[in-house]
Every structure is written in structure tokens, then in C-alpha cells.
Amino acid sequence: MQKILGFTLLTAAFLILGGCTNLDQEFYDRVTPETFFKSEKDIKAALYRPFTHARWYLGEDRWNLQEYTADQFAITTKGRHWYNGGENERYHYHRWTPDDNWIWGTWRGTLMGVALALDTKQDLEKLDYTKFALTQADKDDHINQLTTLIAFFYLRGLDYFGGLPIFESLEGESLPRNTDKETFTHVETLLKEAIQKLPKKNAGDMEEGALRQAAAAALLARLYFNAEAYIGQPMFAECKKLCQDILSKQYGEYSLDPTWYGPHNFSNDRSPEIIWSIPSEFNKLQYDWFYNTFYHYNTIKYFGIDGGGWNGAHLTPSKKPTGEWYAEYKLGAPFRKFNDLDLRKKPYKYLGGGRYEGMFIYGPHLTPSGEVITGGEEYKDQPLVFVDQVGRFSEVGPGRRYASVSELPSKMSEGEENTGVRIVKVPVPNNTDKSLRWGADNPAIRLTEIQYMLAECLMREGDKGGAATLINEVRKRNFENGIDPDPVTAANLDEYRMLDEWGTEFLAEGRRRTDLIRWKKFTTESWWDHEPSDDHYKRFPVPTQAISGNNNLLQNPGY
């Protein structure tokens, strides 16, 4: 297939599918794959390009749509900051529209990922690998990794939007959307094909970003796990079988990490739990998109580093302004869901040499040497103390807006600079170990997910004891000497406890909306400052910008 400068192939594909973007990719006037690829390095550069897109895709807008629309995270307005034209409130209250940017970025990014992977796949299929001192096995591996990556993007798009335009070449115009079932079947077919052909991971292999057999199997398990939401057909039995096979090592050598931080730390490419991750390295392809959004301007002093944040996102509150728990809600309040003895619940502290403890920022903000860190807005020159609450506490007192804390409203518009617990899921070293910064890879698929999917499948079959055993095998690593003060049991395991277990283990890993939808809670339940919404909000709309570029695209119902 020729790459012709201008309105062709990738450029045309994005216009056909609803918009164009800068691909950061060079195009040549009539260059065929056979003449463009000169060495193994050229082949790998082409192969890596769609994977760098996947690295970007796993964060930012896609993460936002999964987490800020659900019950565990919010970006409250903090005085003069973060109202953003009401954008953050629209997502929290389920009032988004086809004109919202996160939705457009996700639609475009999904189909761009498909197109990039498909373009590379078609180019590599035409090459004689022996001319580059490579084998047919190398070629098969590259082709099947790209097949799996195409399925990954379609699976995510199905989750966000429902049916998508299915294209198997970059030729064609104004493609309509395929049905939900057709998109589901396309993903299923691609993954079944890849599973048969991808290599397995061997014991001791490092995880360096390649998609192997277990990754394709895990994605297929995800597809079946959420099939009822996608196509109205429960397929938990199919998911169960895949999870059992993965855990029995039929798709490669994986095991649970013995520590809670192993899958997330600076050397997590060596964790036996990682099935697929996106590599990250300081001053290269950094896994750092969340940094500015989560952390306060002065948190640089807490971390002992350079470069401040924007002080936006935080966990939804567990407590009312009065200090009472939000006992009326079964969802949300994520910080409270962690047992006080949970090792993860400690304040994050870097211990040096790549070691650290805890994964939250809350309470008094102090430097590593114990000095008080002060605020710069409501608490300018006053000690900065992060609270698990939302309210304008700085406006309480004689002559101020509120006479007492009991009068404070707690809602999206009422944040302050110290509002909300902050999460440090990705460790941040101090400047002494600056070379380690962003050394933690992004764990896209972990074996724990397989174990929890199997647990939920067993639970749905009525085997709550078997489900509890699987969950507790993971939970014990979160406590000193493996002693769990609140294990899951057949008696206490219900749909809300299952969601709590998903919520604590995978907090901030960009999946919460999907879990709530699977349990039919996303549009039907209340949590902090959120009331039930209309059922059509389980899917996002086709963006206005996409439809304006392709009038064959039909809008989702309700928009």
C-alpha cells in the first residue's frame, strides 16, 4: 500500500472517522514499505509507534472518563481555581454533552490507535523479514502484537461508546458505526486469533511492554466479563474459564507479587504479577500525566523535588464538614474503605534507595525533615493540612460567611486548596534519587485483575467461599505479617463488598466506571454530591466533531 502525501491513508482515516490530528509522523510521496524499511531498527520504530500511542491513551481523557464520572475521584472548584467552565461538575453530575473535550479526545484517540496499529501491521505484513536478519517467528510476533493492540483499542471504544466503525484497511470513506454486537465479535475474533499465535512469558522474564499470550487472553476475559453491559448477554462462564487457565499458567508464567507495592514501584518491570505494562523512564516516555492534576503547588517540598503541581484532583470525601461519616452512601468514600491497619493507608514517605511506604497524602503537610509546609491560597502562610472532607472551612467564624461548621455545604463548588486526600499510586523519589523518577512502568494488566474477575464470577455462581479465598490471597499482602483484620467471608461478601475490593485494590487505575456499570450502579446509585442519572449515561455520546466530519455516524440514544 502506498503512502501518498496528503489526503490518504492515516490522514484520510481520521477525517473519514471524524476529525484529523497531528500524528507526529512523517509522510513521504509514494514510499512503499519495501523501500522505506532499511534495517531492523526501522521495523522496531514502526512497531513501537502505536505502542507509544497506547501509552498516551491509558491516561488523561480516558482515565478522566473512567474516574471523574464515578464515585472515587473529583476535581472540586477551589476558590478561584478549577471551575473550568463547569466541565468538572458536568462529568461528576452526569451532565456531559457531545461537545465536551474529554469525549472527543477519547473517540479520536481510540480510532487513531486502531489506524496506527493497522497501518503498521499492513506495512510489516509485506516485508520479507529474512532480508533484515529476522525470522518468520519475529514477524508473526510483531503482527500478532499489533492484532492484539487493535483489539485493545476497539475493546476500550466499545466500553465508552458502544459500536464503532470497523475498518480493516485504511481505504474507504465516511464509514458508519457497526453495531455493538458486530464490534464485540470483531474484538473477540481478533483476540482469539492472537492468543493462538503469540508467545508465552517464561519464568523470570522482565515485562518490557510487549503483548504476549496472557495479555490477549486477559483482554478477552475483560470482554466477556463485561459482555452483559456491552451486548446484553452475560458471559461470566466464558470469563471464568479464561481466568482459571491464566491462573493455572496455561498462557505463561505469572504469580501474585508478595508485596502491595511490587506491581507499582520503580522496578515493577520485574514484578511476576505484571501481564502487560507500558515502559516509563525519566526524560523519555514518562508515566507522569497525573502529577500536575493531583498535587498541590507546595507538594514539591513534601516530595523533596522540583516542579509544582496544579492542585486539582482528590478522592471523594469520607466525612461531612462536621466530621461525621457519610454513612448514608454505600459507594464512594474510598479512603475510609481502607482498613486503618492497611499498609497502603500510611502517608506516603520516600525512604531512599528506591524504597517507600504508604500511598496517600493527608493530614499535616511536612517536608521530609519535618518542617511545616504552608498554603498559598485560603491558607496562605498557614500550615497546610489535607482533609478527607469538602467544604469552605476558611469561611467559618465571626464575621465570615458561615457561623459554624454545621452550616457548611459540601459539594463540587466548595473546595479549598487543602481539600481531599491525594493518592501517590506511582512513587515519587526525592532529588537525591532523581534518576529513579518516573521509573515505575504503567501496569496496564495485572494478575490480580484476573484473580478478582474469577472471584466475582464465582460469587455470581453462588460460590462466595471460593471468591473470598481468592480475594484474601491478595488482601493479606496489605497487612503486617499477612494478618488481615477484616478478611472477606462468605457471610460479608455482597455486591457492595465486591465493589469495595475492586475499588481499594485498583484505586486510580482507570476502571471504576466500568465496574459500576457491570454491577448496574453507575446511573442508579447516589454517592457524595451525586444523584442517580438517566440510564443513557452508561455510554458516552458520539462527539459533535466526529459527526460533523462524517454524517454517516449515528448518535447514541439520549443525546
The ranges assigned to domains in the chain are 9-72+98-248
**46-52: long-range contacts at Cβ-Cβ below 8 A with a sequence spacing of 24 or more?**
46/120, 46/123, 46/124, 47/120, 47/124, 47/142, 47/145, 47/146, 49/25, 49/116, 49/120, 50/113, 50/116, 50/117, 50/120, 50/146, 50/149, 51/149, 51/209, 51/278, 52/285
The DSSP output letter for 130 is: G
For residues 253 and 271, what is the distance between their CA atoms, to the nearest angstrom? 11
Return the pLDDT at 170. 87
Please, which residues bridge with residue 446 across strands?
274
Please list, in sequence order, all residues whose beta carbon lies within 8 angstroms of the beta carbon of residue 67, skipping any fewer than 6 positions away: 73, 508, 510, 512, 513
What is the pLDDT at residue 480?
98
CATH class of the structural domain 9-72+98-248:
mainly alpha
159-173 pLDDT, tens digit each: 999 999 999 988 877
Q: What are 422's strand-pairing partners?
A: 361
Hey, which residues does 325 pair with through a beta bridge? 319
- Per-residue exposure over 517-537, b if at least 16 CB sit within 10 Å of its own CB, e if not: bbbebbeebebbbbeebeeeb
DSSP symbol at 419:
B
Contact (CB, 8 A) for 322 and 409: no
DSSP symbols for 493-545: -SHHHHHHHHHHHTTTSS-HHHHHHHTT-TTT--BTTB----GGGGSPPPPHH
Give the model's pLDDT for residue 291.
93
Q: What is each CA distance from 494 to 221, 462, 473, in whole angstroms? A: 22, 11, 18
CA distances from 248 to 149, 199, 272 (A): 24, 16, 14
Give the residues of the chain that fall short of pLDDT 70: 1-35
Tell me the backbone φ, ψ of residue 555, rounded to 5 degrees.
Answer: -75, 150
Single-letter amino acid, residue 75: I
Q: Is the sign of the CA dihedral 155, 159, 162, 164 positive or negative?
A: negative
In this predicted structure, what is the pLDDT of residue 98?
98
Report phi then psi at 319, rounded to 5.
-120, 150
pLDDT at 24: 41
pLDDT of res. 509: 98
- State the pLDDT at residue 4: 27
Q: What is the pLDDT of residues 524-542, one digit of tens each?
A: 999 999 999 999 999 999 9
> What's the rounded Cα separation, in Å, for the pair 12 and 538?
31
> CA 114 to CA 109: how far, in whole Å?
9
Residues 481-509: pLDDT tens digits? 999 999 999 999 999 999 999 999 999 99
